[in-house]
Structure 1
Amino acid sequence: MGRVVLLWVLLCASAQAWGQSSEMMDRLAALEKDPAKREQAYAAAEDRILLCSKCHGKDGNSKRDYIPNLAGQNPQYLFDAFEKYVSGERTDFVMNQAAKLLTLQERVNVAFYFSQQKVQPKAEATVLDKTLVEQGAQRFATVCVTCHGPAALGHDGFPRIAGQPRVYLTHALQRYRDKDPSRAGSPMLGVAALLSDEDITALTAYLSQLQPAP
């Protein structure tokens, strides 16, 4: 009986998550069609990103190299990440608390707001070796391009990783490869398992120097 109840709870949670994602897509589609609604969503988000801006920057460009840029990110991916933090499927002490402070509409607004910001990649402190960057490009083409796209800009629920800080990319790939429980269920676990330390070094060199589309 306990297993039946547990299964029912999981099914309900899954249905609720799908319903929220579907509603989010409907709301984003409505924003795309209505300039007035886009302006309202953007303005509303500016009032709710104070906490976000302390780490990710008001314009979505992170203040620390171990924190991802949200500027120019796919809004669907950002919203999906919010939902995973709200549900606890993805764990981070700050993000789990912050995401729960926002309503569904506020999460849509914030995702839309950051998607409209321009990426400003930080210059590397040291000049990257061209051979290393080329190795990263080749490895990217074999394991990353299908989901993240040829320019690493992502699409739909897949994130933009072009121009992300190298420290953040390295830490993220290592966590996936090491099967960090906070990333349980991600398709990246299987992909990262294929990567050696040398692969991660090359990939992060390549991705961090990519210039996202203006």
Structure 2
Amino acid sequence: MRVLTGLVLASLAIPGLASDSPLDRHNEIMSNETLRQQAYNAGKERILFCGYCHGADGNSKRDYIPNLAAQNPVYLFNAFRKFGTGERSDYVMSSLAKILSEEDKVNIAIYYSGQEVISEPPDSPALYSQGETVYSNACRQCHGKEGKGQAELPRLAGQPTEYIRNTLRLFRDKDPARQSEIMTAVAANLSDDDIRAVAEYVRSMDSN
């Protein structure tokens, strides 16, 4: 435990970065191949603890935990911020958000965004087809035709079914663990069958 704590608390500064804003630092890093590779390598070192749940390659080991592979990096470090402020609540993530440095968070986001998500084929073609309709009506406008999101909006393609179901129910139930006016309004119109179907659909979006 002492070793893990040390790894989590450690911080690796990337030379040549002047801005204090995570978004500005991310943009600056991504515009410079040398800095990008340094950040990627630093993030790879920092994900030892993250990998126990999210996987070393960003593909979750449990169906109720999200995949971080190929996730939008801006969304990832915004998620860190929300866990730190209480806008999102999870025992492990809320604790990590308070002890990881800003540089760690940016590096971890860059590392995981560079991994490939592993999608699975649908278990039920009928449910997949139903989910495609739900997604087109409720999700496509923000998360995109291919479910890849944009900047601060998360990638949904390839996410585990249970994670999607649980998250949509939290929004629908206005649970304080997840706060978003837009998502609360969208989820309010989804039935349990809609949620089950769209979860099946997004899990398999990249498998075809």
Counterpart position of 1:141: 136
Query: Does 2:26 match 1:28?
Result: yes
TM-score, structure 1 as length reference:
0.84
- Aligned pair count reads 190
RMSD, aligned α-carbons = 1.8
For residues 59-109 of structure 1, give each alpha carbon's deviation from its aligned partner in whole angstroms, at most 9, with x where no partner exists. 100001110000000001001000011112211110011111211111111
Mapped contact 2:171–2:180 kept (Cα < 8 A): no
Query: Does 2:168 match 1:169?
Result: no
**CA separation in 2, counterparts of 1:42 and 1:55?**
19
For residues 128-159 of structure 1, give each alpha carbon's deviation from its aligned partner in whole angstroms, at most 9, with x where no partner exists. 1x222111111111110111001111011100
Counterpart position of 2:13: none
Counterpart position of 2:182: 187
Aligned runs of 1:26-175 on 2, under 5 Å? 26-122=24-120, 127-128=123-124, 130-175=125-170
Give secondary structure in 2 for the equivalent of 1:182. coil
Give secondary structure in 2 for the equivalent of 1:62. coil
TM-score, structure 2 as length reference:
0.86
Counterpart position of 1:204: 199
Which residue type is aligned with residue 109 of structure 1? N
**CA separation in 2, counterparts of 1:59 and 1:31?**
21
**CA separation in 2, counterparts of 1:165 and 1:190?**
22
How many Å apart are 1:31 and its aligned residue? 1.6
How many Å apart are 1:185 and its aligned residue? 3.7
Mapped contact 1:137–1:206 kept (Cα < 8 A): yes
Which residue type is aligned with residue 205 of structure 1? E
Which residue type is aligned with residue 76 of structure 1? V
Aligned-pair identity in percent equals: 45
1:40 and 1:154, CA in 2 relative to 1: closer, same or farther beyond 3 A? same
Consecutive aligned runs of 4 or more in structure 1 exceeding 3 Å deviation: none
Structure 1 portions without partners, runs of 5+? 1-20
